[in-house]
A and B are shown apart, each in its own frame.
Chain A
Amino acid sequence: MRVIYLGYLSDLAGTKEEEVVLPESRAALVRSVINARVLSLGEGSFIVLVNGAPASLNSAVKPGDTIKVLPHVGGG
């Protein structure tokens, strides 16, 4: 599955996008596939989308899914 980091989270993760292969193609939770440095910011510090839909660190993901991790922004 693809994990995409947006905004400054790509600086923190050291990559804009990475391919994560789940062992034996099993389902997993979002928290298990996110970069550790991003995860260390703590739940609620970023926004998770799975295939474009709102999700959380505890959402299940499967091979082929796209996870996007977005920072909070303040909106001018």
Chain B
Amino acid sequence: MRGWTGRILWVDLSRGSFSVLNYDSKLAFEYVGGRGFAARILWDHIPVGVDPLSPGNLLVVAAGPLTGLPGPSTGKLVVASKSPLTHGYGDGNIGTRAAVEMRKAGYDAVVISGRAEKPVYLYVEDGKAELVSAEELWGLDTFTAQRKLEKMHGKGAGILLIGPAGERRVAFATVISQEGRSGGRVGIGAVMGSKNLKAIVFRGSLEPEVAEKETLRRLAADAYREIKRKPAYAFWMRQGTMMTIQWSQENCVLPTHNFSEGVFEESSSIDGFAMEKLKVEQRGCPNCNMTCGNCILDDEGVVSELDYENVAMLGSNLGIGDLRKVARLNRLADMWGIDTINLGAVLSYAAELSQRKLISERIEWGDFDAMLRLAEDIVERRGLGAVLSEGLQQASAKLGGSDFAMHVKGLSISAYDCHAAPAMALSYGVSPIGAHHKDAWVISWEVAHGRFEYSKRKVERVVELQRIRGGLFETLVACRLPWVEVGLELEWYIRLFNAATGLSWTLSDHVRVADRVYSLIRAFWVREHAAEGRAWSRLLDYPPTKWFKEPLTRGPLKGARLDPLKYDEMLGYYYAIRGWDFRGIPRESTLDSLGLSDVKNELMKYIQLTA
């Protein structure tokens, strides 16, 4: 087996013990890596119905066969766990030196169970691992802790760590790396905190064995050159994802005032052109030649790394039109180790609660100081902040306003308003981790192909994107942006994979893996819901009620809203393509055909399946 190291490090924090699983080609060929490995490991090894913040839950850090190898944007890894925010499958990916160093240290994945008695960090170097006291790091923000760890282990170390939010188990705490790279918005940082695990540090000098080293090197060089030749490249290098602010405003999908509107009157103050005037630095992930981390100085003069999602959620969605103030909220969130999308969502939900007089606190749109105080309270888990720190689903169960708590399955909607975008709403509805844009970002295609249409071709497009974005890229593990943003052809990734592994796969082989992973993840959700006594229903795949009930009141698409009956028809067609029944549960025949008969047999212990 080449391309893969064939080794997974298992760490039991409760016992302070380590073991190595030498896995075979069955796991590699059926699940490839990254999300695929994580989903299978979590299905097989977590205690069914486990409390996500208990020692029994597992934290999985997984790379793929392209991670760290020559090739565009291959410096990424996946972090995954049973989510404390959704109680379902949760993952996220991070572009970080840790991805490269983990593979060079000799592992494709690390699986962590148990809970350390006192704060520790995990140090892994060239096949060896140890737990080191982190008592001096506990309580530090992620930037300070990163610098201390770099001082101890060198600038070349790959570091994943949590901040105060993860330590205090805020349900949407993330894992941070390199002072601004963030992933695992489903609360993977809280899982680390619950295990008393402050950080994971990788260093390595080993090289994963590949099948055709020279071919791989040449392909990679050609692919980098091809990226630079694309017509979109120069503009991308100027603005990165920040160009999407203007794009979303023009298409009336820029989240504004808790997703009440799709246009923001101050959008030009926070868009890519505003950012360009303030830009001081550009950062990127390892192995990337289209670096998208655009940095400005915030209103306290500190560097903050911006992208579309965090500026939209902490800017227009809160009514804040000052980019340097938005940058401060963003930078503090990264230092605390908290997800900017969820943070923007709970703050805007609180503002709407306030304006509907459902809480006594006064929070106006655009009131930066009030938003900042509340954000601090969330991290400190004080007062209203303590309720919001549990996430939108839990908070709205206590405070009311579930119609305008903008989430799916507990995970907040990321930054696209869907009053007039039914396919994107479906994409959020059926995303495998709760509402997220990563898997099927269909909205750009949708606005060009029948904006108001509810059709089978839209559903088919959602599935196609899931298979590529959520399947191919999340299992390889590589960044999707060269493909989606500048148009690097998918064939490059297939050829890189084949050169690394010596296999002769086509895209359809990867699609089969993707379909297997999607049905396995769905089985995980259903099993965990059943084991926890939570009812499963297709309503869990619905977007928030606000988009059905409360139309847009401003802009060219004033009056637009989603049609629930037509949405439900699209959802039914999605299930049919996936081979899931009317409840959205994989059929027995589907699981059998995907090579998941063992999953079928296990799932049948918890819920009756449809033939």
**Chain A interfacial positions (CB closer than 8 Å to B):** 6-8, 10-12, 44, 46-49, 51-54, 68, 70-76
Contacts and interface: CB of A to CB of B under 8 A. Distances in A.
A58 B38 CA distance: 47
B177 interface: no
B449 interface: yes
B234 interface: yes
B445 A72 contact: yes
A47 B447 contact: yes
7 closest Cβ contacts across the A-B interface? A74-B484, A52-B556, A8-B235, A75-B441, A76-B241, A54-B451, A72-B444
Contact of B448 (A8, A10, A46): A46
A75 B234 contact: no
B235 A54 contact: no
Interface in B411-451: 416, 437, 441, 443-445, 447-449, 451
Given A11-B235, A72-B448, A73-B484, 19 more contacts: A6-B246, A7-B247, A8-B234, A10-B235, A11-B234, A12-B231, A47-B447, A49-B251, A52-B556, A53-B556, A53-B557, A54-B452, A71-B232, A71-B247, A72-B444, A73-B243, A73-B244, A75-B416, A76-B307
B339 interface: no
A75 B556 contact: no
B241 A8 contact: no
Q: Range of interface residues on chain B?
A: 35 or more
B44 interface: no
B386 interface: no
Nearest to A54: B451
Interface in B374-431: 416
A44 B449 contact: yes
Contacts of B448: 44, 46-48, 72
Contacts of A10: 235
B236 interface: yes
A6 B236 contact: no
Given A52-B555, A75-B241, A6 B232 contact: no
Contact of B481 (A49, A72, A74): A74
Contact of A70 (B251, B441, B445, B451): B251
